């Protein structure tokens, strides 16, 4: 067809390969639940050239227009019919069961990769495995960052994932590339391991932040570095919805144990101080007599 010399053939084929590879990585992604975190993720996906559609309980058509997303559907059926490679579930932890119940799986046009980004992992894994069509793959993920910590890019931020049911390896790795190509630290682990570790780290951080907020802790002119960090924890955690925080507790079976450890540790610490106070009072009584 083309009158090319052998070396030109090689260059032509290489260009074609690069082009195919590039095209393969560009996906059609339908997002279910278009709250703050979904909007934050969508910005980077759009920048990477993916084609995004969204659906949510509230009307985000203006936000979508602003972000350059062509279609926003109030009706999830329209999103399911729109031939997506992947459907990304970004609803709150507490509403997941209800949202999944109303998913019109019969409208899917083809095998689809389902991905969730909920901050607990066993809960969505169990619910989705019960209801997804047999030919749909499932990738459970938790980007360990949000609009605050990921404001200036995702480099070196942790991204947890569990390939719960993957048959289309190419599609799954294209999806993971959204995060690896931004420089995220990609951490593969089971949903159970995630929930154990997140209860000890993220849930404790949010709980301490909420306690500090209840105490109305504020900066003072004589803040130490340590205290500045505490104020920062209070401020970042209280920017998240209370739905998110309560979801971390209700749907992570390891969180209850952490709450008990926290209470116990508080009591022990208080008791140690009270014992020392009593010793000091006894000494001063003896000295007085």
With binding defined as CB under 6 A, does residue 99 bind ligand NAP?
Answer: yes
For residues 78 and 168, which CB has a smaller minimum distance to ligand NAP in the complex? 78
- Please state the length of the chain: 289
**Which region among 62-70, 76-84, 140-148, 276-284 touches ligand NAP (by CB under 6 A)?**
140-148
The stretch near ligand NAP (CB under 6 A) out of 18-26, 89-97, 225-233, 278-286 is 89-97
Q: Which residue is nearest to ligand NAP (CB)?
A: 146
Report the distance separating Cα 204 and Cα 209, nearest Å.
Answer: 8
Nearest distance from C-beta of residue 163 to ligand NAP, angstroms: 18
**Is 154 among the residues that bind ligand NAP (CB under 6 A)?**
no
- Produce one character per residue of 243-275: b if its CB has 16 or more CB atoms within 10 Å, e if not: ebbebbbebbebbeebeeeeeeeeeeeeeeeee
- Please identify, among the stretches 19-27, 35-43, 166-174, 259-267, the one whose residues bind ligand NAP according to the rule CB under 6 A: 35-43
In this chain, which stretch among 8-16, 182-190, 238-246, 266-274 interacts with ligand NAP, using CB under 6 A?
238-246
Residue 119 binds ligand NAP, judged by CB under 6 A: yes
Nearer residue to ligand NAP within complex by CB, 56 or 136:
56
Q: What torsion, rounded to 10 degrees, do the Cα atoms 273, 279, 282, 286 define?
A: -140
Cβ at position 242, least distance to ligand NAP in Å: 8
Can residue 56 be called a binding residue for ligand NAP (CB under 6 A)?
Answer: yes
Q: Does 14 bind ligand NAP (CB under 6 A)?
A: no
Q: Could you say whether residue 95 binds ligand NAP (CB under 6 A)?
A: yes
Distance CA 124, CA 120 (A): 7
- 58 binding ligand NAP? (CB under 6 A): yes
Which residue(s) pair with 114 in the sheet? 87, 138
Q: Which residues bind ligand NAP (CB under 6 A)?
A: 33-38, 56-58, 90-93, 95, 98-99, 117-119, 142-143, 146, 240-241, 243-244
């Amino acid at each position: 067809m083309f009158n090319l010399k052998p070396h030109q053939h090689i260059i032509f084929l290489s260009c074609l390969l690069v082009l195919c590879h590039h095209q393969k990585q560009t996906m059609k992604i339908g997002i279910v639940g278009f709250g703050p975190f979904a909007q934050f993720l969508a910005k980077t996906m759009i920048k990477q050239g993916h084609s995004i559609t969204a659906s949510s309980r509230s009307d985000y058509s203006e936000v979508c227009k602003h972000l350059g997303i062509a279609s926003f559907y109030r009706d999830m059926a329209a999103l399911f019919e729109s031939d997506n490679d992947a459907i990304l579930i970004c609803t709150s932890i507490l509403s997941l069961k209800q949202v999944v119940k109303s998913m019109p799986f019969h409208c899917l046009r083809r095998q689809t990769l389902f991905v969730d980004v909920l901050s607990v992992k066993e809960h969505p894994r169990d619910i989705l495995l019960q209801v997804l069509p047999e030919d749909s793959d499932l990738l459970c993920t938790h980007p360990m960052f949000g609009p605050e910590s990921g404001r200036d890019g995702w480099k070196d931020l942790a991204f947890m994932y569990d390939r719960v049911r993957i048959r289309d390896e190419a599609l799954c790795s294209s999806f993971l590339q959204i995060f690896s190509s931004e420089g995220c630290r990609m951490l593969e682990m089971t949903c159970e391991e995630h929930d154990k570790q997140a209860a000890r780290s993220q849930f404790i951080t949010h709980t301490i932040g909420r306690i500090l907020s209840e105490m109305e802790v504020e900066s003072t002119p004589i803040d130490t570095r340590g205290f500045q960090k505490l104020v920062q924890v209070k401020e970042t955690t209280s920017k998240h919805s209370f739905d998110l925080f309560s979801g971390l507790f209700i749907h992570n079976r390891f969180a209850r144990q952490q709450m008990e450890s926290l209470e116990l540790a508080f009591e022990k610490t208080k008791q140690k101080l009270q014992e020392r106070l009593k010793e000091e009072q006894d000494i001063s009584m003896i000295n007085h007599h």
